[in-house]
Structure formats: structure tokens, C-alpha cells
Amino acid sequence: MKLSTKGRYGVAAMYELALHYGEGPISLKSIAANQGISEHYLEQLICTLRNAGYVTSVRGAQGGYVLSKDPAVITVGDIITTMEGPIALVDCLLTEADRNSYCEKAGACVTRGVWAKVCDSINSVLDSISLADLCREEKN
Amino acid sequence: MKLSTKGRYGVAAMYELALHYGEGPISLKSIAANQGISEHYLEQLICTLRNAGYVTSVRGAQGGYVLSKDPAVITVGDIITTMEGPIALVDCLLTEADRNSYCEKAGACVTRGVWAKVCDSINSVLDSISLADLCREEKN
DNA sequence: TTTATTCCCGACTAAAACAATCGGTTTTGT
DNA sequence: ACAAAACCGATTGTTTTAGTCGGGAATAAA
């Protein structure tokens, strides 16, 4: 299991924005340079974040991107979910309805319990860490 | 984040073998039919498990596969790691040396802590569940 | 000894996801 | 006017996924 660059770059970019929260817009170019990411590629990713309402763009010279919300209320889980879709290790865990329903397939149903536990554990870690937490860590 | 069929089918097949542990070899055909998996595809997967020493094959008519160890000492984590490689969400967490080293990239290093936490949490769940646990669950 | 069963092995492939790249358009501060 | 940015759509090379196909070798049962 690997995390794709979508998720990693997404969190990296958001972290960069969080570091400069309140200092006006940060350009794509500086984020990309700082994190060593292709500018054009990052553009696509940050577009997803914008559509999800986590960042706001400022066009024109001296423009860039700004967090739409306070770093304390954006979690790593929010970002990962936006970039990679819901953390559902298997399809039958995608919706709440699925989780409560009974699986037809004999053995599959038993193993499903395992995947559910893993998903819950991943989510609880990701949701417990905010961008503000990351920034705080940097200072130490 | 999704689990590939390698991991899912691998665990499903091992679970099937665990259910019939001590009853002689189980054929690929019956495992595949029971779990609704392509026989030829499953063959490749189980080959990986065999190379890793988790299953033993018995050739010839009435042959099949048998668990090499007691279901109680094979964990879901063992199987997933065999099928999908080590759970390292990002490359710089692959080895123990990497984990202890310091990252050069400024922001990347801070986010790495997040990925390490998630990996540890996944592993602790996967390693805590044995095939015997799954079989026990079935009976309830 | 023949035959049916079952594992063994290597090659091939279609489709999707991943990770970009490229080129041009629009907006806006200086 | 000009340069700095964001915006947008199309295209592309590579890798992974999830198989398929076909023949070969071992062995139990007839």
C-alpha cells in the first residue's frame, strides 16, 4: 500500500499554505519550488482542493492561493479524502448502508470486518491531525 | 486508498485454507469457486504465498494446498505484506534506517511524521488478527 | 498402464491509474 | 503596456492491475 503523489503533494501544499496563513496569497510557483514538485502538476491538484473549498485563489500579479479556513479546522484526513477519495479499502465499505448490510459471500464477509477495522484506524489518525498541529511541530 | 485484489484474494484464500486446516489438501478450484475468483489468477497469487512459506502444495490428483503453519500464528498482516509488499505509505519509511534518519526537505519531513503514525496504526491492526481469529468469528 | 486431476510455469494483454507535460487564455497589480 | 499569476483542456509515457491462455509435469485412482 502506497500513498499516491496526489495525497502527499496535496498535504505538502496545504502545509505550505498553513505556514504562511495570514500573510496574503502564496504563488503556485513558490509552493512547487519549495516542495520540489512540478508546477503544472501541482496546479491540477490544488484545483481539486479549491473545488472542495479548502483554498481560495487570487488571480493576477502578486496573486496566489490562500487557505479558506483556519489551519486548526482543516485536518490531514480532509485533504487526503479530497485528493484520493474516501478511505474505503474495499468497495463494500464505501457507504454507511454498506457497512450495516450483510454480505452474501460467505468468507468475504468475515474478512470485511478486518478491512473495516483498518479503515477506522486510518481515519482516526488522519482526522486527529490538523494543519495547525503540523505547523506547531515544525517549531520544535 | 484501496486494497488491491492481491491482498483481498490472498487473505480470502488463506482464510479458506484455515477453515479446513487439518483436513488434507484443498484444491485451487474449490477455493476459487468458493470465493468467486478466477482460478488462473488465484494460482499466481497463491504461488506468492507458497514462495513466502505460508502454504505448501500437494501435486497430483486429490492434491491441493495446505497451510504450512498453524492458523493461530499466521496474521492478516503477514499475508498483506507478502502480497502487497511492506506497508510504507511513502518511500522514506521503507527501512528502519530511513525512519531514524532526518529528511532534508523542509516540509516533507514534518508530514512524514503523519505517514509514520498511519503506517504504525495499520500494522498494529493487521498484525493483531490471526487466521484463527477469523475462523472463530465465523462461528458466531 | 492409462487417465483424470491437479499443481507448475511463462508469456501475453486490455484497461485503468499515475504522474506528468504542453500550450494557450484570462485576470490583475505595477 | 507589461509581467506575473491563475485557469483550462488536451495529450502522453509509464506502471500497475487484473486477468487470460496454453502447455508441461506429478500423482492418485481406475
Three-state SS letters, B91-107 = HHHCCHHHHHCCCCCHH
Q: Count CB neighbours of A128 within 10 A.
A: 13
The SS3 call for residue B44 is helix
Q: A interface mutation test: which of B17, B78, B103, B110 has the most A CBs within 10 A? A: B110
Contact flag, residue A48 CB and nucleic strand C, below 7 A: no
Q: Which of B15, B89, B110 sits opposite A111 (nearest CB)?
A: B15
Look at B3 and A89 and tell me if their CB atoms are within 8 Å.
Answer: yes
CA distance A59 to chain B (A): 25
Look at B16 and A87 and tell me if their CB atoms are within 8 Å.
Answer: no
Number of domains in chain B: 1
Q: Which of A36, A107, A115 sits opposite B15 (nearest CB)?
A: A107
Query: B75-88: per-residue pLDDT in tens?
Result: 999 999 999 999 88
Chain centroid to CA A111: how far? 27
The SS3 call for residue A130 is strand
CB burial readout A95-122, b (16+ within 10 A) else e = eeeeeeeeeeeebbebbbebbbbbbebb
Share of chain B above pLDDT 70, in %: 87
Contact flag, residue B40 CB and nucleic strand C, below 7 A: yes
Share of chain A above pLDDT 70, in %: 87
Query: B29-58: per-residue pLDDT in tens?
Result: 999 999 999 999 999 999 999 999 999 999
Look at B15 and A110 and tell me if their CB atoms are within 8 Å.
Answer: yes
Which residues contact residue B60 at a Cβ distance below 8 angstroms, ignoring those fewer than 6 apart? none
B103: pLDDT strictly greater than 90: no
Look at A88 and B11 and tell me if their CB atoms are within 8 Å.
Answer: no
B57, containing H or E segment = strand B55-58
Which pLDDT value is given to residue A89?
A: 86
Rounded distance between C-alpha atoms, residue B121 and residue B61, angstroms: 44
Kindly give the residue spans of alpha helices, DSSP state H, lying in B66-130.
76-84, 96-100, 106-127
Residue B72: give the domain boundaries. Answer: 5-139
CATH code at A15?
1.10.10.10
Which pLDDT value is given to residue B106?
A: 52
Q: DSSP code of A103?
A: P
Q: Which of A110 and B84 is assigned the larger pLDDT?
A: B84
Which pLDDT value is given to residue B109?
A: 74
What is the amino acid identity at position A59? R
**8 A C-beta contact, residue B31 and residue B13:** yes
User: Chain B contacts of A88, Cβ < 8 Å?
Assistant: 2
> Which long-range contacts (C-beta less than 8 Å, at least 24 apart) are formed by A118-122?
A118/A89, A118/B122, A118/B125, A118/B126, A119/A87, A119/A88, A119/A89, A119/A93, A121/B121, A121/B122, A121/B124, A121/B125, A122/A87, A122/B1, A122/B118, A122/B121, A122/B122
Which residues contact residue B85 at a Cβ distance below 8 angstroms, ignoring those fewer than 6 apart? none
Q: DSSP code of B64?
A: E
Q: How far is the CA of A20 from the C1' of D9 (A)?
A: 31
